Amino acid sequence: MKQAPAYPALERLLRLAVFAGIALVLLTPFVVTTGLVYPFIVGKALWSRSIIEVVFALWGVLALLNPDYRPPRSRLLGLLAAGFAVSAVSAVFGVSPLRSVWSTYERMQGLVDAAHWLALAVVLVSVLRTRAAWRGLLGGIAGTGAGMALAVVALAHGADVPHYGGLPEFDPPRIGGPLGNPTFLSGYLLVGVMVALGLAVRAWLVAAGADAASSSGAGTRTGTPPRHASARERKTWQRRARAAQRDAPAQRSAPPGSPRAAFVLWAAAAALMLWAMALAGSVGGFVGLFASLAFLAVAGAVRARGRLRAIAATALVALLGIASAAGVRATAVDRSAVYLPDHPVARYVLATHVTRPGVQSRLAAWEAGLEGFLERPALGYGPENFIDVFGRHVSGYGSFAEPHDRAHGKLVEVAATTGVAGLAAWLAMWSLALLAVWRAVRRLETAERALVLFAGAGLVGHLVQAQFLFYTPTSSLQATVLLAFAAGLEGAAFADSRGPRLPEWLRARRRALFELKAVRVALAAAALGAAVAGLWVHRSIHAAAGVEHVSGEPPLEVLAGAIDGFPLLADVHRRLLLDGLGREWTRIRAEDGARARRLLDLAVREAVEAERTRTAEWRLHQGAARLFAVAAATDPEYEEEAERFLASSRALAPNRPVFLRALRAPDALTGARRADGRYELRWRWPESAGYVAIEESGGGSPRRFVLHAYDPAQTSFVLPAGREPGVLRYRIKACLYPGQCSANVEWPAAGQGSDG
């Protein structure tokens, strides 16, 4: 018999505080700290970690008071913990253990962050034990997504949104809102759309009486087992009957109009989030949405019956056809000959092609990641060390592209940084989550089945879009919630195959240990102490991450304060110090020799520290090589340091040039009519270019790119038939990566004929 709680008032208070903390964690995407470096990342990480630490401590006390709140048997939680353990071992044997633990201000991931999300998953699975509780959590995900979408739509239409009005946009006219980057926003809204649709469909089914009809005819399905059922089948029937009885009172107590109102509310929320996704204009987000719809179509084709099954099968065939056409167009179709709409966001999405710089840089990062995986297949380079993989193995366009400290593909990144062991744990975890969703769907009531199915579609979409991006605090939050939700379904999905977690003798000893008051008090004190220690660390990080450390006068001296404030996260400030002093060395030394000497001594200290703790971080080595090369020109005693760091830079990033030449525009853009009547553009490839880009304008059409060329051997381009330079004009530029380009050269030039 279940014992009454020893401290009922304290238990209720702790439980309420834990639920309030979970609600606060769901608000993480809205946190923007303009007073900190990387305002869309650092604040979110500190907010979520602080709340999780408090919630975990309170839950620890609650679980010690009442065993009902202790973690249940869960394979998914075990795999999540196993993945964390593999990452920890990989970090120990990786190229930079400290970076694996703490990451950087730019990303705020690492083992420290992973431990917090693991703790949150444990709390969620431990305290959310009813379907109503899980619906509340999913409703929180959909509700915060709708709130985010409302803010984004308002911003896009010029409304004054408090706290968000002056935020910089990463890639206008695409909207990133409080997440900064449109791709992050789209991935976040994708899950919200699917969950909101699931809640809407569930409400519609409840309103239509699906559950009531199911219950009225379920006397032989859920109430009474078949006459010749086995013992295992009888247990399954009894479990279903108890679940139906548990849910029935809540359904009867609901006002008659509430399901219909809920349907309208959640359907409107889904539509609003789709609108915001369109404003974000992320190709990866739309691919994830497409994958979610495909999952629903497959589920309908396999699980449904009658007309619904035929509709799902038809939709699946249509989706496969659309995917095939999109794939052909993105790899083979000449985009210049295809009409594109005038809207810039729509044009950006529909112009997706393998020649786009963003696609090329991802391909280069994926290739480098696979080579890094083959080099260190067992445990990889260590979490958070993909920048080292990129430097060592990147080639081609990646030699000039903006450095990638993430693979922009979760699967590739896991393989390169944690090896076969980490990849196996990651694949097993998400595969089991999908299996739990798939098996639970057929064992639940109709309305709950719909909600689980759409949540599973959101999980599929999340996984697919993550193969084109990387995790942030927001996506880590969503991944944790989705995994915890799948873990909550394990009881329904694997009810027939769950055995004791521990041998009886060990379970008995554990119970006896927890019955000791001194042990419970010690564990509770440890949980609270860990939370206090964590909050103190976050306070130090917050102070060191202040934006005043990267602005103001004199900026280089101020960087030292950020480095000393929290050295474990100081890589970005070290890079700023080395690069900034290298650019300004000649001027500073001429104006104030004593100041130049102090700054150079500081740079030497940080370069040596980077050499010791960030062994393979080639960007720091390159910055030191450039700085000491400049300093050696005026102070020859630094020649040895310059040569040493130059050698280490070339060893760590053999295909990344240390000293870039000035980026010049392509020479001699000309055009001539060929024998077939089409025009051919010609140019000379500039030095130090990662690619050249040709734009077309005129004729009443918006300016658009018609070519991105990455091969230096390509010095000509044949215009599509019907393109007449008398009306249309073309211009070419050379780029390292988007945002780092030369001036444009036009053809025909002013006063020049089209055959000039």
CB burial of 647-661 (b: ≥16 within 10 Å; e: otherwise) equals ebbbebbeebebeee
Nearest to 571 by CA among 510, 536, 615: 615
CB burial of 76-106 (b: ≥16 within 10 Å; e: otherwise) equals bbbbbbbbbebbbbbbeebbbbbbbbbbbbe
Say what the pLDDT of residue 340 is.
66
Say what the pLDDT of residue 1 is.
46
Burial of 484 (0-12, 13-18, 19+ CB in 10 A): buried
Task: Copy the structure tokens of residue 154.
Answer: 């308002």
- Run of H or E residues at 673: strand 667-673
Q: Please give, one letter per residue, the 3-state secondary structure of 441-474.
A: HCCCCHHHHHHHHHHHHHHHHHHHHHHHCCCCHH
Mean pLDDT score of the chain: 86
Q: What is the CB-side half-sphere exposure of residue 139 using CA atoms within 13 A?
A: 14
Distance of CA 21 to the CA centre of its chain: 23
At residue 691's C-alpha, the angle toward residues 688 and 696, to 5°, is: 130
Q: Measuring CA to CA, how many Å separate 65 from each of 2, 39, 517, 529?
A: 14, 40, 10, 18
Beta-bridge partners for 672: 680
Instruction: Mean pLDDT check: name the lowest of 436-445, 513-522, 614-623, 731-740.
Output: 513-522
Say what the pLDDT of residue 256 is.
47
Q: Calculate the dihedral angle through the C-alpha atoms of 699, 704, 709, 713, rounding to the nearest 10 degrees.
A: 20
- Whether 336 has a pLDDT exceeding 70, the answer reads no
Burial of 359 (0-12, 13-18, 19+ CB in 10 A): middle
Say what the pLDDT of residue 52 is.
96
Q: pLDDT, tens digit, for every residue of 616-662?
A: 899 999 999 999 999 999 889 999 999 999 999 999 999 999 998 88
- Run of H or E residues at 100: helix 97-102
* pTM exceeds 0.95 for this model: no
Predicted confidence band at 720 (pLDDT cuts at 50, 70, 90)? confident
Q: Please give, one letter per residue, the 3-state secondary structure of 147-172.
A: HHHHHHHHHHCCCCCCCCCCCCCCCC
Q: pLDDT, tens digit, for every residue of 178-212?
A: 999 999 999 999 999 999 999 999 999 988 874 44
Instruction: Mean pLDDT check: name the lowest of 112-126, 385-399, 666-680.
Output: 666-680
Say what the pLDDT of residue 553 is.
57
- Whether 438 has a pLDDT exceeding 90, the answer reads yes
Greater pLDDT, 222 or 65: 65
Backbone torsions φ then ψ of 145, nearest 5 degrees: -65, -40
Say what the pLDDT of residue 352 is.
84
DSSP annotation of 661: P
Contact 558/548 with Cβ under 8 angstroms?
A: yes
